[in-house]
Structure 1
Amino acid sequence: MTSRTLAASAAAFVLALGLAGTAAAHAHLKRSTPTASGTVGATTQVEGWFTEALEPKFSTITVTGPGPDGKPEGGKKVDKGDTHTDPTDAKHLIVSIDGAAPGTYTVDWAVTSVDTHKSQGSFTFEVRK
């Protein structure tokens, strides 16, 4: 093998490794407001910051309020269905919520990154007055 062929092979290998890392990327939740398992006095929206840019049409946050006993089971949907990305940051997803009665809220998120990979998760937070 000539040095030119060896150099070309090495460059192709390095490029393939770089592309493989990019292709395996998924958007994961880095942080949220309210914080996962956190406690707040009240809130009018839930926000999530992700590791990858998101496709807004295929990314949602759903928030369920507390049931009659203040626990997450039996609660009703309280988000306004207006999930959107921040116009200045495609990694930042926001949804408005109705009310903030005391109790435990459940946040379910499902996102599609701009490279079409999907991921999802959930967390809870508590509202105390």
Structure 2
Amino acid sequence: MVFAAPSLRYAFIFLVSMLVAPAVWAHAHLTHQYPAANAVVDDVSQAITLNFSEGIEPGFSGVTLTGSKQEIIKTQKATRNEQDEKQLIVPLEQPLNPGIYTVDWYVVSVDGHKTKGQYSFSVK
């Protein structure tokens, strides 16, 4: 009986870790973006692209682009790359002027989990 307590404890820890691990990995995390976070770029004239750790649902995902004076920058509807279900593309209506921009993004992964975040970049 003396050895049962540690064995039960290890079994409990193993069981809990197996139940929690899938929930942790079931969200689409931002892995790469263009322009990159905190980057200073010469020009952004066509689109902002966001790459995630898993596939996303474009109908439930989107981006708000804000300028340095807190003005909303018009963009076209965000779409998923036809060749890559992990990439969200946000076409710009016009090239970005010099300044600091903030990207607020939200996505729903293909398994239904919601994720959101924010980053900034600058245009020279």
For the aligned pair, the TM-score class normalised by the smaller chain equals 0.7 to 0.9
Q: 2:97, 2:39 → 1: CA distance?
A: 15
Residue 81 (structure 2) aligns with: 86
Runs of 4+ in 1 over 6 A off after TM superposition: none
Q: What does 1:3-42 align with in structure 2 at a 5 Å threshold?
A: 17=18, 21-24=21-24, 25-42=26-43
**Any gaps of 5 or more consecutive residues in structure 2?**
1-13
Q: Does 1:50 align with 2:52?
A: yes
TM-score when scaled to structure 2? 0.77
Q: Does 1:60 align with 2:56?
A: no
Q: 2:122, 2:99 → 1: CA distance?
A: 6
Q: Is residue 78–residue 99 contact of structure 1 (8 Å, CA) maintained in 2? A: no
Q: Percent identity?
A: 39
Letter of the 2:42 partner, please give it: G
3-state SS, counterpart of residue 77 of structure 2: coil
Q: 2:21, 2:111 → 1: CA distance?
A: 12
TM-score when scaled to structure 1? 0.74
Give a deviation string over 1:23-54, Cα, whole Å, max 9, x none. Answer: 44100100100000001111121111000100
Residue 96 (structure 1) aligns with: 91
Residue 108 (structure 2) aligns with: 112
Aligned length: 107
Q: 1:88, 1:46 → 2: CA distance?
A: 17
Q: 2:67, 2:89 → 1: CA distance?
A: 17
3-state SS, counterpart of residue 54 of structure 1: coil
